Amino acid sequence: MIILFLLSLAGVQVAGNWTLIHETISSKMYLDVSSVKEVRRDIRSAWVRRQNDPVNDAGISFEVMKMRFDCANEESGIMSFTYYDANGQAILYRDYNDDQIEMTILVPGTSGIGTLNAVCSVTI
């Protein structure tokens, strides 16, 4: 069972249609455009990847997150995430139930609002 779970995580990092949506001096944000789904009116979910360059102080090379986006209220929350080291090995995984997802108001001019805008502009 654990092996199947780890294999499914490996698929997340390579599968999909990853498109660069935001870049800073220390990281790049990607959106898997093919993963964008409408949960209900103005609410979407999607897979997002943050690539750290260089590897951050916690040893995280990249993270893959399934996120929920409220397009009308400009909020987002993490549904699940996996952190990976420089060798592509999963080092931490968390999955949240719907009632555990904490929606956060996004600040204008940040990568968060840029990610929301990218997700909400995808034609479904």
| CATH code at position 45 | 2.40.128.710
pLDDT of residue 15: 67
pTM, 2 dp: 0.84
User: Nearest Cα to 20, choosing from 32, 8, 36?
Assistant: 32
Q: List residues bridging with 18 in a β-sheet.
A: 32
The structural domain count of the chain equals 1
pLDDT of residue 124: 87
Name the helix (H) or strand (E) containing 32.
Answer: strand 27-32
Per-residue pLDDT of the chain (124 residues; tens, 9 = 90+): 343 343 344 444 456 899 999 998 999 999 999 999 999 999 999 999 999 999 998 999 999 999 999 999 999 999 999 999 999 999 999 999 999 999 999 999 889 999 999 999 999 8
Based on its alpha-carbon atoms, the radius of gyration of the chain, rounded to whole angstroms, reads: 14
**CB contact at 8 A, 42 and 71:** yes
pLDDT of residue 10: 45
Query: Could you identify the residue written with the tokens 């490996």?
Result: 10
Query: Could you identify the residue written with the tokens 């502009």?
Result: 121
Domain span holding position 23: 2-121
**CB contact at 8 A, 80 and 47:** no
